[in-house]
Chains A and B, each alone.
Chain A
Amino acid sequence: MRDRIRPPAELETSVLDRLKADGIIETKQKGMMLAAAIGYHLEGQHGRRGLELDKLGEGIRLEYFQRVRDDAFIDALAVSLEQDLHALEDDSTDSRLTTFEQLAHVGLMELKRVCYDGQAKPLDALLDLIERTISSQTGPLPGLEGLGVLESLI
């Protein structure tokens, strides 16, 4: 069973390292979280799984994700994309990590475009993207208003 998450080698240098050097992300783990979320925002909602991964870079141990309580997001992404809670099975761990890496790949390419291909400063460009995304999301998804039922069951 895999215990590491690995970014694409080329984007690790051209985006993750750069974002870290520019003070926008504290760690590569945080950069991968941001990238995967953006990847999901762009591709995942349409049921796509991103790109085929080519050469992978240095791995980040899963333990780092757990330490800052971000691991739930990796699982949530897999469940959301599979539309199936069975994605949480132990046997599917590798598949969940691969899904995360594919989404991160898409997100890293978007981060490169937004932060480094335009005229604005990288942080400002990213903040604008975040603001736009937040303002485009309005309230809970239809049909999910009764989530409180679950609280009483588990």
Chain B
Amino acid sequence: MILRKLEITNFRQIYGTNQIEFAPVGDRNVTVVLGTNGSGKTTLLSAFMWCLYGTVDLQNKDELISHRAVQDTPVGGTVEVSVTLIFDATGHTYHASRSVCMRRLDGGSLERLTEGKLELMIMGADGRSAMANEPATLVERLLPESLSRFFFFRGEDMEQLARQGSQEHLKKGTETFLDFTVIDRSIKHLGQVSDRIEREIRSIAKGDAKDLSERMGQLTEEIDDLEARHEHAASEVAALVAQGDMLDAELAASDEVRPLLEDKARLKQKLQDQEERARELRRQLAALVSSDGYLAFAGDTLDRPLMLAEQAVQKGELPAKIKPKFVDDLLDKGACICGRPIDDQASGALRVYRSHTGLAGLEEQIFTLRNGVNLLRDRRERFVDLLHSARTDYSVALTDIQRTADELSRIDSELKGRDFGLEAIRALQAKVRAKSNELVEARVLLERLEASTAERRERLKELEDERKKKLGESAQEQALTARKAAVVAAQRAVVRLRNDWAALVQRYLDMKLKQTWDRIAQLERLVEFTPDLHLVIKERGGDGDWIASAPSQANQRALALSFIGALIDLAREVAESPTAGVASVFAGGEYCLVMDAPFATMDTFFKTRIPRGLVSLVPQIIVINSNDQWEGEVASALEDRVGKRYVLELHKPGREGEDRTVQFGGRSVDYEVAERYSGTDWSIIREVA
């Protein structure tokens, strides 16, 4: 299955109609989609699953549709959600599409008008096309749902695959390749035939043989009951193992993430300090504005009084030749400074002079104003300088905050919510102990059931042998006994064949896994796909022997990716085998890998090697990840293989200036867009040419 194009309309986070044309098989076979947290990376993965199988991991089915699209739809209006996937497989091109139409009701709820049925159109190489009569069956043949998790997956699910509890998934996956459906049906059918013959034997048996038959019947019922209980207990054990795996992984992660948590704590403190500094700078800015901000608007107010005073000087009005107070004192005293009395004529002249002193009477006020204004001019100059430097400091503080917040966001994305405190670790350890005790009890029960079943089977065999001796010589009894023996022998042979075949493929996959590991991981470890269908990784012990280790998340991902690489190789060989297409459920062929954040928790070593190794092994790769996960080692490793680039452009409520761009393919592209008037998030897919 090689992907050509994906068209998504209003599917969950993704708003409107968006398309992705995938990089074809060849030298540039990698398609990269960048998206920040919440932009819909997992939504993209879900779109594939919904289109092909109609499955989507949602509790509320209304969540299928873009909130933004619903907002745009008037009450009573309809809105459509659809996904179309065009792909090549088995020499044909397929158009798979699924869509649902909904009506918006008063109050905001949605009424589903159509059920999302899969439609599949097949186009031959000759250009002729036809609609598939049973599209789901055909899709199941092209890519069985049980195998889809190996080809469309989230990075964190990969680690799961390499854990002990994933045995069932691995078993199911390999059995799908082996096409055990027909064989299992044969085994079941032979069992039914054997039971029918047994019932016939019992109905004609007489005397001791009849008694023995009845006891055999009871024993068979007991065995059936024990087997049912065994099956139930086995599934309980598997569930407990899976839960234990999860807890172990969480505990292991607590060790792995400790350096990240330390970094996070340090950065959080740094961010707090930077935010406090920004708040302090803002307080300083406010204090500056409060104290002298008005001087910025003073304009010529601080110049005009000085200008008017200068004009008065030029006119001779200032400085006053005789002070008006001096004249007033003379008039009050009625005598000149030399003591001579002032007569009426002189007094009249002085009064006229007094009335024409002009600005001389305001000299003191002008002097005070001049000093005040000069002071204000100095303050204004200092204010402008301080304002400029405080604003620069504030702007630098904001940039520092943004940088630290980005670093924190990168660490958060690496942590993926695995934030362990001491209390959480203790609680986790207690859970592991409790789960481990439960598991021991469940295994003891399982063993007891197995022993009881074996004992009864043994007894049944004895009874059957005894009955053979007691059965009469009639031709009918002889024939039925012989038929039953033949059917049981046939059933055993088919079971043996099935097991041998499974072991063969297990060994083949084990070999492929080792080759793939060497090719893509290039790290000295012994990897195994064991006969009981576990993925195991071993490292050299002190004495040089291989010992099983508790693998890191990075190792688990690398191991799972190697296994998937081996499966892809096997799928190619299934298609090329001489019996391809004959009575087989799975067609095989070339397969793409669609991966959401596949390299997130890997260290530099794996980030460089795994992407390169995968590209050489897998015909087509689609990597969906954040910019943080992409830039650096992964981008360097894949850059020359990238054929198509897209960005999930996240629009979210925010203020002007909160937009974020990233460098991608040598271009600056919008990554987060702040929407001032929006109350919801949405994303659109943009191609980066």
Contacts and interface: CB of A to CB of B under 8 A. Distances in A.
B387 interface: yes
Interface string B296-317: 1111111111111110110000
Nearest to B314: A149
Contact of A80 (B285, B286, B304, B655): B304
Interface string B270-290: 000000000000110111011
Contact of A26 (B287, B298, B312): B287
Interface string B164-205: 000000000000000000000000000000000000000000
A83 B312 CA distance: 12
A150 B291 CA distance: 28
B545 interface: no
B324 to A, nearest CB: 13
Contact of A45 (B285, B295, B299, B656): B299
Given A37-B294, A79-B305, A130-B387, A85 B362 contact: yes
Interface string A96-113: 000000000000000000
A24 B289 contact: yes
A71 B308 contact: no
B295 A76 contact: no
A153 B370 CA distance: 11
Contacts of A30: 290-291, 294
B532 to A, nearest CB: 64
Interface stretch (B18-26, B371-379, B413-421, B552-560): B371-379
A119 B8 CA distance: 35
B309 A150 contact: yes
Interface in A111-154: 119-120, 123, 126-127, 130-131, 133-134, 137, 140-141, 143-144, 146-147, 149-150, 153-154
A33 interface: yes
A17 interface: no
Interface in B362-396: 362-363, 365-373, 375-376, 384, 387, 391
A153 B300 contact: no
B310 A85 contact: no
Given A72-B373, A123-B285, A144 B307 contact: yes
B318 interface: yes
A85 B290 contact: no
B676 interface: yes
B642 interface: no
A88 B313 contact: no
A116 to B, nearest CB: 16
B296 A36 contact: no
Given A123-B285, A127-B285, A72 B313 contact: no
Contact of A84 (B290, B291, B294, B308): B308
Give the interface centre of A45, A85, A133 by most chain B CB atoms within 10 Å: A85
Contacts of A69: 372, 375-376
A44 B319 CA distance: 29
B132 interface: no
A24 B290 contact: yes
Contacts of A86: 359, 362
B304 A79 contact: yes
A147 B291 contact: no
A91 B36 CA distance: 70
A23 B300 contact: no
B289 A41 contact: no
B300 A45 contact: yes
Contact of A147 (B310, B363, B365, B655): B310
Contacts of A153: 313, 318-319
Contacts of B290: 24-27, 30-31, 34
A154 B289 contact: no
A41 B307 contact: no
B373 A154 contact: no
A54 interface: no
Contacts, number: 157
A52 interface: no
Contacts of A143: 307
Contact of A72 (B293, B375, B676): B375
Nearest to A123: B286
Contacts of A71: 372
Contacts of B293: 34, 126, 130
A123 B289 contact: yes
B297 A80 contact: no
B299 A88 contact: no
Interface string B349-365: 00000000001011101
B372 A72 contact: yes
A79 B318 contact: no
B375 A83 contact: no
Given A85-B305, A153-B313, A38 B297 contact: yes
B372 A85 contact: no
Given A26-B290, A85-B312, A150-B370, A73 B359 contact: no
Contacts of B300: 45, 80, 141
A119 B655 contact: yes
A73 B301 contact: yes
Contact of B376 (A26, A38, A72): A72
Nearest to A132: B296
By Cβ-Cβ distance, the 7 closest A-B pairs, closest first, are A72-B372, A37-B294, A37-B297, A41-B297, A80-B304, A88-B365, A33-B294
21 contacts: A24-B289, A26-B287, A26-B291, A30-B294, A31-B290, A72-B373, A75-B369, A85-B305, A85-B308, A85-B309, A85-B362, A88-B369, A119-B656, A123-B285, A127-B285, A127-B289, A131-B387, A147-B306, A150-B309, A154-B309, A154-B318
Interface of B: 282-283, 285-287, 289-291, 293-310, 312-313, 318-319, 359, 361-363, 365-373, 375-376, 384, 387, 391, 655-656, 676
Given A36-B294, A71-B372, A134-B387, 18 more contacts: A24-B286, A30-B294, A31-B290, A34-B290, A45-B299, A72-B376, A75-B305, A76-B304, A76-B373, A79-B308, A85-B359, A88-B362, A89-B365, A119-B656, A120-B656, A141-B303, A144-B306, A150-B370
